[in-house]
Each structure stands twice: as C-alpha cells, then as structure tokens.
Amino acid sequence: MQWIADTSSGAWLGERLDGTPSTMHGVVPHGFPAYARIFHPAIVRSLPDRPVPTPAEWERMPEAEQQRLLAQFVDAPTTWAETAAAFGTTMHPFAQWNRIVRTPADGDWRTRISPDGREFTAPIEGELGARLLSAIAAHLVAHTSTPEAGFAAVWEGYGGLLGFFGQTPSRAFLTATDDPNHQAMLDRSTHDPFNNVFRKPTWQEGILSREISEGPRLSLPDRDHVLFSAAPRVFADPEWVLHVPWRDRPAEEHGFPPAALSPSILWPEDRSWVMVSEIDFDSTIVAGPEALIRDICADDRLEALQIPEGTDLTWDADLVNR
C-alpha cells in the first residue's frame, strides 16, 4: 500500500459526478446497477435498571444522586431503526437523523432525549469504525476480480493528517507533570499568543510525510483527497489500521492505541464497485452490482437499505417523518 502521486487513476470518479448537492451524486458516482446506504451506528445512553432521567428530573435531583447515577450510565451503539422505535418515527431508506429523533426547528439534533428517557447521540459523519469497515469489505472483495489491487482516497482536510507551514501544530499532545515549575513552563509555552505573533512559520509535522503533504491531490468537486494504492482485501481484516500508510503513529508515540481514518473513497482496480464515506454524510454509500448490494443489505452486522440512483440525502430529504 503506497501513496500515488499520479492521481489519474481516480479521474473516472469526477466524470461520473454531477457536482450538485441536490442528490447523492455530488459525491457518489452515477452509472452503477445498484446502490446501498449503510447507516452509521448512533450511541444510546441509559441506566441498567431504568431510563436516563429527563432534563427536568435531573435538575431537581440532589448533586450526590446525580454523581451516583453518572457512574452507572452505560453507552452502547444503537441502530437507526431502534432509535426510530424509541421516538415513534419511521425508519426507511431516505431517513434523516434530525427527523428520526424529532428535532424541533431550534433544537440540537446531535443529542436528543427519547420519550422513555434515554439519550441518543447522532452517528459520526464521514467515518467508519474498523470492524464495521471490515464487515463491509468482506462483501466488497467477493464482488471484484481484483481483490488484491485497488485504490483508497483519504480526504485531505482531517486535522493532523498533513504537515504544513505554521507557527503551531494542528494538534497537541499534552503531558502532565508533578513538577509545578515544569508544568508552569509547559503552560506558558502552549498559551503564549503574544510571542506566537512574532514566531516564523516552520514545518509542522502531520501523520503523513512532508513529500505526501505537499504532493498532488485527487481533486473532486469541493473535495481534495490523498490517493493510495490499496488492496481491497486488506480492509476485510479488522486490524487493517495496522497496515495503512496513514496510521496515526504520532498519537501512538504519546500512548494512544493504534488508529487510522477510514477511507473516504475505496474502489478496486476493475471499478466493479465504489464505496463513499462522504465527510458530511452519516451513512456510507456502496455502488456496485445488484448481488453485492443484496449481500450488504442482508448482513445483520450492518444496518443497510437499498436506494435508487439519484437519491436525495440532504438534511431535509426525509418526507416520511416531517
């Protein structure tokens, strides 16, 4: 798996996009026999023995009782269908999260309390967990003649991915210390806006090398990506994060577990299918042969529904739950 400076292998994607936000084809290519929408998991927070208190109940509760309950909260992944059941809405292929959780015009759709008192947090946009991607990839490799050859594109805008010229890094790994004098020095060095003004920009390292950071991009409408050669079979392994060039090694050096962004776009050399995890979508779209789409939608590890070409996935597209 290597970085590709010649991005011409991805030019066909742009030729099949219409560049408009009115349908999914601003980011998902036209021209495939079938399409599946894979819904990213949400998070539900509840108590083992009873629902989460309503906001009004929480405000009336003594602080000691609040602390006792906080220690018992359980966060668990949940599906859109389970969320719809909790809010009395309808799950369907064109569902939008804000409608599923009955968000009022001035409300926050990211966190909503259901009538039974549970707290639902919206799915992550543009990202697939390692195991979820491996479950999808198991189907993808079965429907291509080139499972050992393909391409992965990663959106360039993820914080920390690329290096750049600047005065401060795009992210910082802070280390606590028991020495108050040393800690005071660290605090001054990270919170010194006056002197920062006079510092000369220097190269700030990212996850990827300087050569890649400054190199060519796969340019698609409103999105530029770093392009890599990538065997689709690699992603069928739940530990694929250990094998990709954009593995977050700087974070590992500071004690974090191995991690890597999921590809924004993934396709095999024979172009039999394409997987798109658009950064503003809370679902991933797979376009490909009808048999692949049937297999994905039948997998009980995934929450996936078939959608037609030309589907509108904008925030106001859910006509059923208005």
User: What is the rounded average pLDDT for all residues in the chain?
Assistant: 88
pLDDT surpassing 70 at residue 188 = no
Whole-prediction pTM value? 0.85
* pLDDT more than 90, % of the chain: 64
Interatomic CA distance for residues 320 and 82, integer angstroms = 17
What's residue 65's pLDDT?
86
- pLDDT-derived band at 173, boundaries 50, 70, 90: low
- Which SS3 state, helix, strand or coil, does residue 290 take? helix
Burial 256-280 (b: 16+ CB within 10 A, else e): eeeebbbbbbbbbbebbbbbbbbee
- Of 250, 307, 310, 241, nearest to 95 by C-alpha is 307
Write down the pLDDT at residue 153: 97
46 pLDDT exceeds 90?
Answer: no
What is the identity of the amino acid at 186? Answer: L
- The pLDDT tens digits of the residues spanning 110-155 come to 999 998 888 999 999 999 999 999 999 999 999 999 999 999 999 9
* Cβ atoms 237, 134 nearer than 8 A: yes
In contact, 48 and 72? CB cutoff 8 Å: yes
Q: 47 or 129: whose pLDDT is higher? A: 129
Check residues 57 and 244 and name the one with the higher pLDDT: 244
Tell me what pLDDT residue 116 has. 85
Are 246 and 226 in contact by the 8 Å Cβ rule? The answer is: yes
SS3 state at 230 = coil
List strand residue ranges (DSSP E) for the chain, in order. Answer: 34-39, 42-46, 74-78, 111-113, 119-121, 150-155, 164-166, 202-204, 218-220, 223-229, 265-268, 274-276, 283-288, 304-307
- pLDDT recorded at residue 203: 64
Mean local confidence (pLDDT), 63-92: 90
